[in-house]
Amino acid sequence: MKSMTIRNGQEYIESLRRRKIKVYLFGELVENPVDHPIIRPSVNAVAETYDLASREPDLATAYSPLIGKRVNRFLHITTSADDLVKQNEMQRKLGQLTGTCFQRCVGMDALNALYSVTYEIDEKYGTQYHKRLVDFIKYVQEENYVIGGAMTDPKGDRSKSPSEQDDPDVFVHIVKQNDEGIVIRGAKMHQTGCINSHWIVVMPTMRLKPEEKEYAVSCAIPVDDPGLTFVYGRQSCDTRSMDGNIDVGNAMYAGQEAMIIIDDVFVPWKYVFMCGETEFVPVLVERFTTYHRRSYVCKSGVGDVLIGAAASIADYNGVLDASHVREKLVEMVFLNEIVYGTGIASSYKARATKAGNYINDEILANVCKHHLTKFTFEMARLAQDLTGGIVATLPSEKDLKHPEIGPKLMKYLATKNGVDPEHRVRMARLIENMTMGRNAVGYLSESLHGAGSPQAQRILIARYMNLEEKMKFAKRLAGISDALNGKEEEEEEESATLTSSAPAPSTHSD
């Protein structure tokens, strides 16, 4: 693989040090986010995406026809169904390696969604959005930057549209524009890995009225823009990163969520990819969620870690071969593979867009994500079941290492012969971390609310379930003509034959 500007995880970490950004955590401005003990594990998780590309280039890089060389797969515009499948395989691998969210899927999916939507806006209006986006993609591919995606607005009163809100800033909007560019204001919530990104791609969050043009905006902003302020989100047990090693559970890696305050940020036109085209907002949102909901196969990699932890704790306790334990582990694997199977099936069924890049199957993507809203919680329950009550009642690391009480604790935390009691403690802490601690955000909360809460998937599944066609299958086999006489049926069949070779209308049209 040809060298890129940022070649590995360490160079990525150093690239973050060169920035000056405003990050607040616990009410204080963080001077050095990279080395802050709460933030650093999330930086390490992103760094792993670079190191995997170095170790396994066939998996984590792809040839980009835009710049004529291999690039990190998180920056690649998909050129085939195989590209989408490889994304899923890479995502599962990274989930296995980090046991958490590695924070780059949103940007990858945003670039691919915008690639086709900007093409179609230009096709209709003669604008230059697609060329601008391609130039931006070439730039970030050459530099090997991390792209964060920002879609979710605060929304204010959810019974009102953006233009009806008392405070217009609860949705990101354009406050002015001129020959040089636009100025935007607002905020974005629940932003995965935004502080660890080099650029943020802003997108609208929901369907808009024709008169709400100022809210139909998509653009790219450098993370160190002085108009951006980041407020780090609290996560359960996050301060354990400052306490020691064992109590953390996963001291190496963590996810990251923050709020972005956008205070009158100027964006040059070359970084603007949508400006007022309200009819294309639902198209962009739907295409992004189609990509991103099948990207949640990453949780199957995290699930592999949880299954391994549950099996390990059962082994340490001397019950791995008990029939009820094996049955629970089988159930965990069963649920985990359903998630992976539906996600990767969505990728295998990809089709080309007008722009030439590929998008995965919509209904299977939503089925994948909808499974996650339930299955990860059941897997967490089973893991806690297999761990026992100790998952929530372990003494602290300081107690375990105390010269007087520590040896007594280890005596009573011992299990079968040959198992170091500390290993049992560490595994229990990992399970706690993943199911009720800090990385439960990346595994459970993201599975429930990331890329849209459960009802959002049900709406899309309902849209694509095609009941009329399924009813025809049933009526034909039941011998029901549905009041059509033979001649009408023949005419219908003839019409279907004449139109079967015509391209199908876009399933994204509204």
Active site residue ranges: 101, 105, 192, 257, 292, 296, 298, 446
Q: What is the DSSP string of 32-80?
A: -GGG-TTTHHHHHHHHHHHHHHHH-HHHHEEEETTTTEEEEGGGPPP-S
Among 119, 33, 116, 20, which residue's Cα sits nearest to residue 77? Answer: 116
Q: How far apart are CA 507 and CA 510, in angstroms?
A: 8
For 125-186, give the DSSP string: H--SHHHHHHHHHHHHHHHT--EEEE-----SSTTS-GGGSSSGGGS-EEEEE-SSEEEEEE
Strand partners, 345: none
208-241 in b/e form (b: 16+ CB < 10 A) is beeebbbbbbbbbbbbebebbbbbbbebebbebb
Residue 151 near residue 205, CB atoms below 8 Å: yes
Q: Which parts of 228-322 are beta strand (E)?
A: 228-232, 257-268, 272-275
The DSSP bridge partners found for residue 200 are 148, 221
Phi, psi (deg, nearest 5) at residue 23: -125, 125
Structure-block tokens of residue 229? 């302020």
Residue 230 bridge partners (DSSP): 23, 260
At position 267, the amino acid (one-letter code) is V
Spacing of C-alpha 38 from chain mean position? 21
Q: DSSP code of 250?
A: -
Q: Which residues pair with 147 in a beta bridge?
A: 199
Q: DSSP characters for 346-393? A: HHHT-EE-TTS-EE--HHHHHHHHHHHHHHHHHHHHHHHHHH-THHHH
The neighbouring-strand residues paired with 188 are: 260
Only one residue has tokens 């949508």, namely 274
Contact of 386 with 328, CB cutoff 8 Å: yes
Q: Which amino acid is residue 490, in one-letter code?
A: E
- By DSSP bridging, strand 61-64 and strand 69-72 are antiparallel
The letter for the amino acid at 57 is P
Torsion of CA 377, 378, 379, 384, to 10 degrees: 90
